[in-house]
């Protein structure tokens, strides 16, 4: 079966500054740099962000390899901790300006569209320690100052900007479930952080509107949209899924596209006594500065059921999970290495949700991918990793994405996470996601079978899929 995509479809891959560049010649530590310094044992095999994929030094060769596998677009991020010298004043570091200019120019020279994100979990730790990070509205203003510098410096050549990558992960990881520094458990703070990040995104968009001079330019946000499916059709399970979707999906998506938060969610948070502190002026800024374009990261679905205890139970801290429990569906397909369910049809559900409920805003798949450990198991005699599992994973997701496009969803691209195996936060290099393998000891990089397959897709704008795979 042939699966076809529109003309000028983005075929690309995504990474981030902190996960690919390494710490070479960087003025400030970000929260992950700092966490690794004080607690290296928290990271898989004690491998930290200093052992990244050397993009700071090898960007020319790396971008050439991206061209070799057919990419026409490439998303990365500009590190706040690299670009800015004085975090309060917003002055720039000249070496960082040189580096990011060189990356952008090299992409353009290779015919690859540079797509730039501003914040990929990498808040400068100084702002966390001094001001409380995203708990502080002063940090919100400093972020807007950083964003303005990016637009001034690089906006003449970068058409596609994004403010944040997966802001919900900052909320969940740093303030609820302890997988991002500073590992706080405080539901009230988590809710305020969610609001402050929304305000920061809106203020960055306002700065973009002021400083952008590129007539083709647009700005958006990248959200991890994870549909929450109820375990059953019971009213209790349906209610659990409804709240989970409000919290996990609509909170940032609604504010970013419509300029306001769900009244229902606001009502629940207010009833629970944890609603964020806001002002009318701030809410006006959020209302006036909505996104032009949306990036969607999707890896796995969320399955939920009614909570095992009443939401009215006595609890020390407010948690969103008072309204739902996670549900492990019997018989689910899994990527056992990562511990994530494989459910490609969710990408079709996301496509129709955006079409029907969010004004069919232009969007692209900004991350999707298959993380596998010990990929050296699949080396052939020629030294190529035969990652047929990744090819199948992409095929299945693209099949359902194509259906969504056929049914009118305004999707214009697909980016795999990631072009080259890169450092992955606490998991370091445990699971590999790239089209291109990276030996972190030698920095020798080799194209996997999926990279050669993807090149054919990008050249033809279509691929063949077995009928059996469309029914999984």
Summarised one tens digit per residue, pLDDT across range 262-289 is 999 999 999 999 999 999 999 999 999 9
Token output for 148: 């303005």
Angle separating helix axes 167-175 and 251-258, nearest 10 degrees: 140
Q: Which neighbouring-strand residues pair with 302? A: 228
Active site (catalytic) residues: 166, 367
The distance from CA 153 to its chain's CA centroid, rounded to whole angstroms, is 24
In whole numbers, what is the pLDDT of the chain averaged over residues? 97
- Spatial CB neighbours of 464, under 8 Å, sequence gap ≥ 6: 1, 2, 3
pLDDT for the residue 199: 99
The Cα–Cα gap between 143 and 137 comes to: 10
Q: What percent of the chain has pLDDT over 90?
A: 96
User: C-alpha dihedral over 51, 56, 57, 59, to 10 degrees?
Assistant: 120
Predicted TM-score (pTM) above 0.75: yes
The Cα–Cα gap between 72 and 63 comes to: 11
pLDDT for the residue 28: 98
* Model confidence band, residue 336 (pLDDT cutoffs 50, 70, 90): very high
pLDDT tens figures, 394-451: 999 999 999 999 999 999 999 999 999 999 999 999 999 999 999 999 999 999 999 9
Fold of 2-471: TIM Barrel (3.20.20)
Which of 248-252, 260-264, 316-320 has the lowest average pLDDT? 316-320
C-alpha radius of gyration, the chain, whole number = 21
């Amino acid at each position: 079966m042939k699966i076809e995509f529109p003309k000028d479809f983005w075929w690309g891959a995504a990474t981030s500054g902190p996960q690919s560049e390494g710490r070479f010649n960087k003025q400030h530590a970000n929260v992950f740099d700092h966490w690794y310094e004080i607690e290296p044992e928290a990271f898989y095999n004690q491998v930290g962000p200093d052992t990244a994929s050397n993009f700071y030094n090898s960007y020319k060769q790396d971008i050439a390899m991206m061209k070799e596998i057919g990419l026409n677009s490439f998303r990365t991020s500009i590190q706040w901790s690299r670009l800015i010298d004085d975090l309060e004043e917003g002055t720039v570091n000249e070496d960082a300006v040189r580096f990011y200019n060189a990356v952008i120019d090299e992409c353009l020279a290779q015919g690859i569209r540079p797509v730039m994100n501003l914040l990929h979990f990498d808040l400068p730790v100084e702002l966390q320690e001094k001001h409380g990070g995203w708990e502080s509205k002063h940090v919100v203003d400093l972020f807007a100052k950083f964003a303005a510098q990016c637009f001034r410096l690089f906006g003449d050549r970068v058409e596609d900007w994004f403010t944040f990558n997966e802001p919900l992960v900052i909320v969940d990881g740093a303030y609820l479930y302890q997988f991002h520094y500073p590992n706080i458990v405080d539901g009230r703070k988590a809710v305020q952080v969610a609001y402050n990040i929304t305000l920061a995104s809106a203020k960055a968009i306002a700065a973009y509107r002021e400083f952008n001079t590129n007539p083709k330019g647009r700005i958006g946000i990248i959200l991890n949209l994870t549909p929450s499916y109820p375990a059953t059709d019971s009213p209790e399970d349906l209610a659990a899924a409804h709240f989970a979707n409000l919290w996990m999906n609509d909170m940032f998506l609604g504010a970013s596209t419509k300029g306001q938060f769900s009244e229902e969610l606001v009502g629940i948070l207010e009833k629970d006594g944890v609603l964020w502190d806001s002002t009318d002026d701030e809410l006006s800024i959020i209302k006036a500065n909505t996104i032009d374009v949306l990036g969607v990261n999707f890896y796995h679905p969320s399955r939920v059921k009614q909570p095992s205890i009443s939401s009215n139970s006595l609890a020390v801290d407010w948690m969103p999970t008072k309204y739902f429990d996670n549900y492990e569906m019997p018989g689910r397909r899994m990527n056992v290495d990562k511990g994530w369910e494989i459910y490609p049809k969710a990408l079709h559900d996301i496509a129709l949700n955006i079409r029907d409920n969010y004004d069919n805003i232009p969007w692209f798949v900004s991350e999707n991918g298959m993380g596998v450990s010990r990929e050296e198991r699949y080396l052939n005699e020629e030294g190529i990793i035969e990652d047929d599992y990744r090819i199948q994973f992409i095929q299945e997701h693209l099949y359902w994405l194509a259906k969504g496009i056929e049914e009118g969803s305004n999707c214009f691209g697909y980016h795999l996470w990631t072009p080259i195996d890169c450092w992955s936060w606490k998991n370091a290099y445990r699971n590999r996601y790239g089209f291109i393998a990276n030996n972190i000891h030698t920095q020798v990089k080799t194209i996997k079978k999926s990279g050669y397959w993807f090149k054919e897709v990008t050249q033809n704008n279509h691929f063949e899929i077995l009928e059996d795979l469309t029914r999984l």
